[in-house]
Chain A
Amino acid sequence: MSATVKRILKPWWTGLSIMVILTVLLGIVYPVVMTGLSLVFPSQSHDSVIINEQGVVVGSALLGQSFSDAEGNPLPQYFQPRPSAAGQGYDGSASAGSNLGPNSPELVQLIEERRAQVAEFNHVALDAVPADAVTASGSGLDPDISVAYASIQVERVAQTRRLAVDVVSALVAEHTEGPDLGYIGYARINVLELNLALDEL
């Protein structure tokens, strides 16, 4: 091999060998060691799964799920989550927002339909329906709803379950998480945890 060819090939060899070493180090050793460390936090690293009283996994505390029947109609005995654009709704293998634009006629129509449906379902006025009840989240897996959206659902859930409104209200209050550290983010309610608590009453 002539000296010129050698000089040209040299950086390629160096680049390739360093890239292979870094791939092993940063692409295999690093994530595997981190996964090993994660055993210190077994629940968090394994999807924060929620287990019901029978010991069966019913979902993840971090992922929203739908509370509708097979036809997609909302079940009145459960608090309803936000609309979801992930697959057919809360599909954990297809996280997504609607990505509809701010002036999209389709989105405006969807919002108006949802508002009418939510108002009728909960027997409240149209303008009592908060924004998070009529908009799809960014992930399509938003586990939370706002305090406002939970509060308009209390009576309907209480009636369906033949519970006192106070009991359901208290449960909602108990499951209301304030902003992180008192000021970061917003008060919110994890729908799955609230509904699970309702079922276990």
Chain B
Amino acid sequence: MELFAAVTALFTLVVAVAVTYRPLGDYMAWVFTNPRHGKVESLIYRVCGVKPDKEQTWKGYLVVVLVFSAVGFLMLYGLQRLQPMLPYSLGLGPISPDLAFNTAASYVGNTNWQAYSPEHTTGYAVQMAGLAVQSYVSAAVGFAVAIALVRGLTRSASTTVGNFWVDMLRINLRILLPLSALATVVLIAAGVVQNFDGFTTVETLTGGTQIIPGGPVASQEAIKMLGTNGGGFYNANSAHPFENPSAWVNLFQTYMLIVIPFASIRTFGRLANDFRLARSLLATMAILLVVAYGTLTWFELSGGGLAPQAAGAAMEGKEVRFGIIGSTLFTAATTGTTGGATNSMLGSYTPLGQMVAILHMVLGEVSPGGVGSGLYTLLVLVVIAVFIAGLLVGRTPALLGKRITAREMKLAALVILVMPMLALGGMALSMAIPGVRAEIVANSMTDPDSQGMTELIYAFVSAAINNGSAMAGFAADTPWLNTILGVIILLGRFLVIALVLAMAGSFARQDRSTVMVADLPLHRPQFVVLLVGLIVFIAVPTFFPVLTVGPLAGGLR
């Protein structure tokens, strides 16, 4: 019965993704290659002083990515600090400086880590004009960088990699906005609320009172999922019935998380004119996602841990309408993307289920990854895999006719070092400073044991990989954690982006006509096995030591 439910839910998702894969992927490729600018776009270029047909070098592209993100960061920080002066703020006060810093970093970095409880912190003005806007543009930034890398790989002897303003604006206006509007209508019809009612108090059947929260939720929910953001309108995120009212909406939301990352592989195939390589990438993503879903579901259904055994099933923190399958499918999708939305409380998952969730994130979030970030991270891993494969068979390593030289390899190696360095370094620092350690153990962790360690590991991994999901029992709204996690989010996002753009520039410069190398057969199953193996072997040994003191210890109890 459970097996049937698990397989049919997955099958439905696969069919849905398959149906939209080609049309959406091809459409997105058109968005990046269409020479004509839209009327609204042209107007915006004129007002803002953009020369849309003038391309940027990788350095120029990086500079405007950073400037644009810095502007977004400052505006979001300002909106939060000035909250009482804004309309529709529900009487909520200004957000503390460290929390505002953390939240601004988190949304600008497409992470959407939420150290706060939205119902008590953010009014509608901050949610809409601040958080929802960054949910859009941060996803667009990631996508733009991925497209710049694809241009680098496909162009020959080019000094430029595209125009960031054009890429970013087109992603927002031609991809994210129409898809979000469509999704919003579906969500509203299904019961996701969309109003400006604030909190209303009603008398319940028993004569007590209940507060019913309102809000422009559906419009925000749409971009939260489609932009692989994950910042919930309510504290309970997608577990809240007003965000995620039924089992089929839950499946629809899971689909929304992965639809763009999967389709962007088709976009890559079209732009690079190599659908065979695209199929290899697709297979790699799908294998990792299905294995993560399978093992996570297995552990949750087995119900390990003292509490699930006492209750008879791992239902603590899970909703009846989703059950275990609907919860694990969503969690697999959210940890394989930079999603970070949660529809069930990860801190109450079985210990080994928690380990799978962490492992799935540390694989680098390429199954299928965040909007854009999934594609560029996977391409970086492909560069490494091709290099290793080239060494193994004794051929000059090349990708799409571009030689992989020492420079590209150095950049790729640095990319995969960023996340572990930040996550493990941040954790180590927090545990090494006596005062900080004492405070975290006493006040942030739910229990000062393996569970507390799991929560700590989860928080730092989630921040470093820009996921944003959390074990919500971990009280992260402290000055130290807000600051260090905010810094880690920003470095995790923008260091990787800088390295990826450098790689894009480096590939773009190569003159394909002078590079006489044949590609390795990257469309064969052997390459998929190599790539999957590489992804697993980079991640697992790096994190195995910390996992032993966290979820593994809990699971062996």
Contacts and interface: CB of A to CB of B under 8 A. Distances in A.
B308 to A, nearest CB: 6
A45 B236 contact: no
A13 to B, nearest CB: 7
Given A45-B218, A102-B348, A138-B236, A91 B211 contact: yes
Interface string A8-36: 00111111111101110111101101110
B210 A59 contact: yes
Given A47-B193, A93-B213, A184-B9, A34 B208 contact: no
B219 A186 contact: no
Contacts of A181: 248
B253 to A, nearest CB: 12
Contacts of A57: 202
B34 interface: no
B137 A94 contact: no
Interface stretch (B150-158, B184-192, B459-467): B184-192
Contact of B321 (A59, A100, A186): A186
B75 to A, nearest CB: 6
Interface string A63-98: 111111110000100100010001000111111111
A107 B307 CA distance: 6
Given A99-B347, A139-B236, A45 B188 contact: yes
A186 B451 contact: no
Given A21-B47, A22-B172, A67-B206, A93 B241 contact: no
Interface residues on B, range: 35 or more
A157 interface: no
B293 interface: no
Most chain B CB neighbours (cut-off 10 Å) among A37, A101, A140, A180: A101
Contacts of B210: 59, 63, 65, 90-92
Interface string B43-81: 010011110000000000001100110111001000000
B307 A19 contact: no
B451 to A, nearest CB: 3
B449 interface: yes
B247 A184 contact: yes
Interface string A180-201: 1101111010001001100100
A139 B554 contact: no
Contacts of A63: 210, 212, 241-242
Contacts of A18: 44, 48, 50, 68, 165, 168-169
A19 B75 contact: yes
A23 B71 CA distance: 12
A16 B49 CA distance: 11
Given A63-B212, A179-B247, A21 B48 contact: yes
A69 B193 CA distance: 29
B71 A12 contact: yes
Interface string B192-207: 1111110110111110
Contacts of B197: 46-47
B39 interface: no
Contact of A101 (B172, B202, B323, B554): B554
B304 interface: yes
Given A19-B68, A97-B236, A137 B193 contact: no
Given A45-B194, A95-B240, A183-B8, 10 more contacts: A11-B67, A14-B49, A30-B177, A47-B197, A65-B208, A75-B206, A98-B316, A99-B472, A136-B317, A185-B250
Interface of B: 4-5, 8-9, 12, 44, 47-50, 63-64, 67-68, 70-72, 75, 117, 119-120, 128-130, 132-133, 136-137, 165, 168-169, 172, 177, 180-181, 184-185, 188-197, 199-200, 202-206, 208, 210-214, 216, 218-220, 223, 234-236, 239-242, 245-248, 250-251, 304-308, 310-323, 326-327, 342-345, 347-351, 354, 446-447, 449-451, 454-455, 471-473, 554, 557
Interface of A: 10-19, 21-23, 25-28, 30-31, 33-35, 37-38, 41, 44-49, 52, 56-60, 62-70, 75, 78, 82, 86, 90-105, 107-108, 111-112, 115, 130-132, 134-146, 179-181, 183-186, 188, 192, 195-196, 199
Rank and list the top 4 A-B pairs by shortest CB-CB distance, nearest first.
Answer: A185-B247, A102-B305, A99-B473, A138-B239
